Chains A and B, each alone.
Chain A
Amino acid sequence: MEYVVDTCALTKQFRKHKAVNNISLHIKRGEIYGFIGRNGAGKTTFMKMVCGLSVPTSGELKLFGAAGKEAAKYHSRIGNLIEQPGLYSEMTAWENLHMKCLALGIHEEDYENRLLATVGLADAGKKRVRQLSLGMKQRLGIAMALVGKPDLLVLDEPVNGLDPQGIAEVRKLLLKLKAEKNMTILISSHILEELYKVADTFGIIHNGVLIQELSKEELDEKCSDYTEILTKDAKKACPVIEQTGCRNYQVMPDNSIRIFDVIPEPGKLNMKLVNEGCMVESMHMVSGNLEEYFLNLTRD
């Protein structure tokens, strides 16, 4: 399988602090890869290395199948929006785009206006950047990333500051880019539900370490509904639960037990627990969600 981005033990160290620690991540061609992590987890640093804005301390970064110095040649095929959009506030939206077109040697007629229309800023071309709202600046940042028709788009918190309508428009745009241009997109966002709507694969990063990489299907499985049993004696309850054939369960710090497998007869389980002298305070179904799953994974 051809990976657009394939890293092996990629590390970035700032003095003694490892911002990115041995990350081995794989992004397939044409997929949207959602990068999840808390603030300061290392997402931006990783994305900067992918874009060629930062040099790794160690490890290997393969881009479009090429490694080493060959990989650096492919940075030209990566558009990025890292942190805040890099824009000159005294210049207009059109002029900022034109600047990047000049730098990349793009001289297509009406190119800037078409890009502005793509991100829904067709009427804002003549506005100075300082007059644009935060959301409009973000959209302009995405337009800047699209200059040069990149094959890989790296977007760091692209929906930051957008209103719900703007978020929906960006989502639509990303899905359109993927469908029509087979564009590969690496995207990070703290709005997990939003990321869930667009991404095909998810990478969860915590303290610089990639703690999980999973497909949407796998994530769906992990974030599935579960039965929560509140009991004061979890140790006693566990063998009873296993006797019913449930293997996929988790004892939480508060002694509650989460059973992710489907329990065919919850009443019978309740009875068995009581018979074994394990008092059940409550037993109920809980709908799982991405946020909770993420918080559990990244709990220190």
Chain B
Amino acid sequence: MLNLIRMHLYRMARSISLWIVMVIMVASCAFSSCMQIVSLDITGPLWPDYEESESGFGLFFSPPAGKYGEAASFLEFYSSDLSSGILLVFLSIACAIFYGEEIKSGFLKNITGQTRDKTDIFWSKVIFTILLTLFMMLLYGIAKFIGLKLLFPKEYTLRFASECWPAIPFILVGNFILHLAFAGGIVLLTMLSRSTTVGSIVGIFTALGLPGGVLGMMEESYNVELVKYLITTNVHNMRIATIYNEWIGYSEKDIYFALGAGFFFFILYEVLGAVYFTKKDVD
């Protein structure tokens, strides 16, 4: 199993297309930082009041909401970005490219027979997806941190987490689980469709909120609650502001719900993937 994980990591290091995705992600991160600061400048204070974020189809970067009288911290900027769904977009493209290349190349034929247990290959993929998600979250965080520091050395006094330390585990673990579940879904879709294009396009449109819009219409028609179960919905809710400002309307209970949804979808996708991978012949 460790050998297989090493193999995935080696391929990741050598995959040009994957690094192009990472570079674009870092550039987008810098761009979002610029836009957030511009937005803060327009609205006046660097310590903004919380505004209800926009919702609908697309990526929405809300200015981070610090508590009254305080500058927004790095973690507030970071969580604000993650909740926009930008990392979901790049994560889905990265997963679709990585696993799509594997299917397209037929490389699995070389190792499936000679690996002791076929399921080892699947679990090595799961572990690699976990590592890839962690890496991309970390890379985005580093890019955000450096971006804020470089772009606004004077205007912005950087603090890591202000008074929201208790929120850090929620933000990081919660976002990680939700992003991981989303990545698991994209990996499964890429495996089933055997297409990088399908995996990445569905991933992008889902991250941009298309299913939320469709399910929203269904909710109105059939009087059922569906949108709240979506990974993307829960990612949008997973913000420091959500945890800290109870007056916004979200509570810790909602955060636990988001964690539960993330776990549920992660397990569901991996079980379906494991069944499919072990039963299907290798092409």
Query: CB within 8 Å of B: which residues of A?
Result: 48, 51-55, 73, 75-76, 78-80, 82-91, 95-96, 98-100, 102-105, 144-145, 147-148, 150
Closest chain B residue, CB of each to CB of A14:
B281
Known A-B contacts A55-B281, A98-B10, A99-B11; the reply to A88 vs B105 at CB < 8 A is yes
Closest chain B residue, CB of each to CB of A99:
B7
Q: How far is the CA of A210 from the CA of B16 in the complex (A)?
A: 46
Could you show 28 A-B contacts with beta carbons less than 8 Å apart? A48-B282, A51-B109, A52-B113, A53-B112, A76-B113, A76-B114, A76-B116, A78-B114, A80-B109, A80-B110, A83-B109, A86-B108, A86-B110, A88-B11, A88-B101, A90-B14, A90-B17, A91-B14, A98-B10, A99-B10, A99-B107, A103-B3, A103-B4, A103-B110, A103-B114, A104-B114, A144-B110, A148-B114
Known A-B contacts A99-B107, A102-B10; the reply to A51 vs B113 at CB < 8 A is yes
Closest chain B residue, CB of each to CB of A49:
B281
Known A-B contacts A88-B11, A105-B3; the reply to A78 vs B113 at CB < 8 A is yes
Q: How far is the CA of A171 from the CA of B112 in the complex (A)?
A: 27
Closest chain A residue, CB of each to CB of B101:
A88
Identify 9 new A-B residue pairs, CB closer than 8 A, beyond the known A52-B118, A76-B113, A86-B108: A53-B281, A86-B105, A86-B107, A88-B101, A90-B17, A102-B10, A105-B3, A147-B110, A150-B114
Does B6 reach chain A (CB closer than 8 Å)? yes
Give the interface residue-count category, chain B. 20 to 34
Interface residues of B in 98-124 (CB under 8 A from A): 101, 105-116, 118
A102/B114 in contact, CB under 8 A: no
Does B15 reach chain A (CB closer than 8 Å)? yes
Instruction: Mark interface residues in B127-160 (1 if CB within 8 Å of A CB, else 0).
Output: 0000000000000000000000000000000000
Residues of A within 8 A of B108 (CB): 86
Residues of B within 8 A of A55 (CB): 281
Q: How far is the CA of A182 from the CA of B6 in the complex (A)?
A: 32
Q: How far is the CA of A148 from the CA of B105 in the complex (A)?
A: 21
B109/A53 in contact, CB under 8 A: yes
Q: How far is the CB of B231 from chain A (nearest CB, A)?
A: 30
Q: How far is the CB of A95 from chain B (nearest CB, A)?
A: 6
Q: How far is the CA of A80 from the CA of B105 in the complex (A)?
A: 15
Interface residues of B in 1-50 (CB under 8 A from A): 3-4, 6-7, 10-11, 14-17
Instruction: Mark interface residues in B262-278 (1 if CB within 8 Å of A CB, else 0).
Output: 00000000000000000
Closest chain B residue, CB of each to CB of A82:
B109
B6/A102 in contact, CB under 8 A: yes
Q: How far is the CA of A166 from the CA of B106 in the complex (A)?
A: 23
Known A-B contacts A54-B282, A76-B115, A90-B16; the reply to A100 vs B10 at CB < 8 A is no
Residues of A within 8 A of B101 (CB): 88, 90
Q: How far is the CB of B13 from chain A (nearest CB, A)?
A: 10
Q: How far is the CB of B101 from chain A (nearest CB, A)?
A: 7
Instruction: Mark interface residues in B236-252 (1 if CB within 8 Å of A CB, else 0).
Output: 00000000000000000
Residues of A within 8 A of B281 (CB): 48, 53-55
A87/B10 in contact, CB under 8 A: no
Residues of A within 8 A of B16 (CB): 90
**Which of B7, B14, B105, B115 has a CB less than 8 Å from the CB of A89?**
B105
Q: How far is the CB of A146 from chain B (nearest CB, A)?
A: 11
Residues of A within 8 A of B106 (CB): 83-87
- Considering the complex of A and B, which 10 residue pairs feature the smallest CB-CB distances, nearest first? A86-B106, A52-B113, A54-B281, A53-B282, A102-B7, A51-B113, A86-B107, A105-B3, A86-B109, A75-B113
Q: How far is the CB of B217 from chain A (nearest CB, A)?
A: 38
B110/A102 in contact, CB under 8 A: no
B113/A80 in contact, CB under 8 A: yes
Residues of A within 8 A of B7 (CB): 99, 102-103
Q: How far is the CA of A145 from the CA of B109 in the complex (A)?
A: 10
Residues of A within 8 A of B282 (CB): 48, 53-54
Q: How far is the CA of A84 from the CA of B107 in the complex (A)?
A: 10
Q: How far is the CA of A190 from the CA of B3 in the complex (A)?
A: 37
Residues of A within 8 A of B110 (CB): 80, 86, 100, 103, 144-145, 147
Q: How far is the CA of A79 from the CA of B115 in the complex (A)?
A: 11
Residues of A within 8 A of B4 (CB): 103
Closest chain B residue, CB of each to CB of A91:
B14
Residues of A within 8 A of B105 (CB): 86-89
Q: How far is the CA of A88 from the CA of B17 in the complex (A)?
A: 12
Q: How far is the CA of A142 from the CA of B108 in the complex (A)?
A: 15
Interface residues of B in 67-122 (CB under 8 A from A): 101, 105-116, 118
B3/A53 in contact, CB under 8 A: no
Q: How far is the CA of A80 from the CA of B229 in the complex (A)?
A: 45
Residues of B within 8 A of A145 (CB): 110
Q: How far is the CB of A134 from chain B (nearest CB, A)?
A: 15
Residues of B within 8 A of A100 (CB): 110-111
Q: How far is the CA of A82 from the CA of B172 in the complex (A)?
A: 45
Residues of A within 8 A of B11 (CB): 88, 91, 99
Known A-B contacts A99-B11, A103-B4; the reply to A88 vs B107 at CB < 8 A is yes
Q: How far is the CB of B276 from chain A (nearest CB, A)?
A: 14
Residues of B within 8 A of A75 (CB): 113-114
